[in-house]
Amino acid sequence: MNKVIEVENLTRTFGHFKAVDNISFNVEKGEIFGFLGANGAGKTTAIKMLTGILEPTSGKGKVAGFDIITERNKLKYKIGYMSQKFSLYEDLTLKENIGFYGGIYGLRKREIAERTKKMIARLQLGDIENTLIAEIPLGWKQKIAFSVATLHHPDIVFLDEPTSGVDPITRRQFWDLIYQAADEGITVFVTTHYMDEAEYCDRISMMVRGKIAAMGTLDELLHKHAAKDMDEVFLKLARQ
Amino acid sequence: MRTFLAFIKKEFKHIFRDKRTLLILFGMPIIQVLLFGFAITTEIKDGKMAILDLAKNRMSQQYISKITSSGYFILKENLKNYSEIEKSFKRGSIKIALVIPEKFAENLGNTNSSVVQVIADASDPNMATMLTSYLSGITNSFAIEKRLVPEVPIKIESKMLYNPENKSVFMFVPGVMTIILMLVSAMMTSITVAREKEIGTMEILLVSPLKPAIIIIGKVLPYLVLSLINAFTILMLGFLVFGMPMEGSRILLFLEILLFIVTSLSLGILISTIAQSQQTAMMMSLMGLMLPTILLSGFIFPIESMPRILQILSNVIPAKWFIIIIKSIMLKGVGIRVVWKETLILAGTSLLFILMTIKKFKIRME
CB proximity B3 to A under 8 Å? yes
Contact A5, A63 (CB under 8 A): yes
Contacts of B10 in chain A (CB under 8 A): 89, 92, 96, 100
Residue B144's pLDDT is 83
Kindly state the average pLDDT of the residues B130-139.
Answer: 91
Contacts within 8 Å (CB) and 24+ apart, B156-159: none
Contact B168, B41 (CB under 8 A): yes
* Residue type at A198 in one-letter notation: A
Contact B103, B55 (CB under 8 A): yes
Contact (CB<8Å) B365/A105: no
Rounded-to-integer distance, Cα B119 and Cα B122, Å = 9
Phi-psi region of B311 (alpha: psi -120 to 50; beta: other; left: phi over 0): alpha
* Distance between start and end Cα atoms, chain B: 27
Contacts of B3 in chain A (CB under 8 A): 103-106
Q: Is the pLDDT of residue B346 over 90?
A: yes
- Would strands A211-216 and B47-53 be described as parallel, antiparallel, or unpaired? unpaired
Residue A149's pLDDT is 92
Contacts of B9 in chain A (CB under 8 A): 99-100, 103
Mean pLDDT of chain A: 89
CB proximity B278 to A under 8 Å? no
Architecture of domain B47-145: 3-Layer(aba) Sandwich (3.40)
Q: Determine the 3-state secondary structure of A79 from DSSP.
A: strand
Q: Is the pLDDT of residue A5 over 90?
A: yes
Higher confidence at residue B150 or residue A217?
Answer: A217
> Tell me: the pLDDT tens digits for B245-277?
999 999 999 999 999 999 999 999 999 888 888
Task: Return the domain boundaries, chain A.
Answer: 3-239
- Distance set, CA A215 to CA A6, A19, B224 (Å): 15, 19, 52
**Helix H or strand E encompassing A12:** strand A3-14
A85, A91, A99: residue with CB nearest B6: A99
Kindly state the average pLDDT of the residues A33-54.
Answer: 89
Residue B75 CB neighbour total at 10 angstroms: 15
B1: nearest CA in chain A? A106
Contact A11, A193 (CB under 8 A): no
User: Given pLDDT bands bounded at 50, 70 and 90, which one contains residue B366?
Assistant: very low
Provide φ and ψ at B195, rounded to 5°: -65, -40
Contact (CB<8Å) B7/A81: no
Contact B52, B97 (CB under 8 A): yes
Provide φ and ψ at A64, rounded to 5°: 55, 30
- CATH 3.40.1710.10 location in chain B: 47-145
CB proximity B6 to A under 8 Å? yes
Strand partners, A207: A37, A212
Contact B243, B216 (CB under 8 A): no
Phi-psi region of A87 (alpha: psi -120 to 50; beta: other; left: phi over 0): left
Contact (CB<8Å) B200/A85: yes
CB proximity B347 to A under 8 Å? no
- CA A221: distance to chain centroid? 21
Contact (CB<8Å) B203/A87: yes
> Tell me: the pLDDT tens digits for A180-204?
999 999 999 999 888 888 889 999 9
- Could you tell me which of B167, B96, B90, B91 has the C-alpha nearest to residue B127? B96
Q: Is the pLDDT of residue A133 over 60?
A: yes
Interface of B with A in 197-226 (CB under 8 A): 199-201, 203-211
**DSSP class per residue in B243-309:** -----S-HHHHHHHHHHHHHHHHHHHHHHHHH--SHHHHHHHHIIIIIHHHHHHSSSSS-GGGS-HH
| Exposed/middle/buried for residue B165 (C-beta within 10 Å: 0-12, 13-18, 19+) | exposed
Higher confidence at residue B159 or residue A158?
Answer: A158
Contacts of B365 in chain A (CB under 8 A): 53-55
| Exposed/middle/buried for residue A106 (C-beta within 10 Å: 0-12, 13-18, 19+) | middle
A52, A77, A86: residue with CB nearest B200: A86
Optimal mutation site among B207, B211, B277, B278, interface A, most CBs of chain A within 10 A: B207
Contact (CB<8Å) B207/A102: no
Q: Is the pLDDT of residue B363 over 80?
A: no
Residue B364's pLDDT is 59
CB proximity B93 to A under 8 Å? no
Rounded-to-integer distance, Cα B231 and Cα B177, Å = 6
E strand residue ranges, B43-134? 47-53, 73-79, 96-100, 117-120
CB proximity B20 to A under 8 Å? no
**DSSP class per residue in B182-213:** HIIIIIIHHHHHHHHHHHTHHHHHHHSS--HH
The count of CB pairs under 8 A between chains A and B is 82
Contact (CB<8Å) A105/B10: no
Which of the 8 DSSP states describes residue B123?
T
> Tell me: the pLDDT tens digits for B292-307?
888 898 888 888 888 9
Residues of A with CB under 8 A from a CB of B: 51-55, 73, 76-77, 79, 81-92, 96, 99-106, 108, 158
Q: Is the pLDDT of residue B172 over 90?
A: no
CB proximity B7 to A under 8 Å? yes
Mean pLDDT of chain B: 88
Distance from CA of B160 to the nearest CA of A (A): 53
User: Given pLDDT bands bounded at 50, 70 and 90, which one contains residue B28?
Assistant: confident
B5, B209, B365: residue with CB nearest A77: B209
Contact A196, A223 (CB under 8 A): no
Residue B114's pLDDT is 80
| Residues present in chain A in total | 240
CATH 3.40.50.300, domain A3-239, yes or no: yes
CB proximity B362 to A under 8 Å? no
For chain A, the farthest-separated pair of C-alpha atoms sits apart, in whole angstroms, at: 55
Optimal mutation site among A49, A87, A159, interface B, most CBs of chain B within 10 A: A87
Contact A211, A43 (CB under 8 A): no
Contacts of B205 in chain A (CB under 8 A): 104
Residue B111's pLDDT is 58
> Tell me: the pLDDT tens digits for B187-232?
989 999 898 888 888 888 989 998 888 888 999 999 999 999 999 9
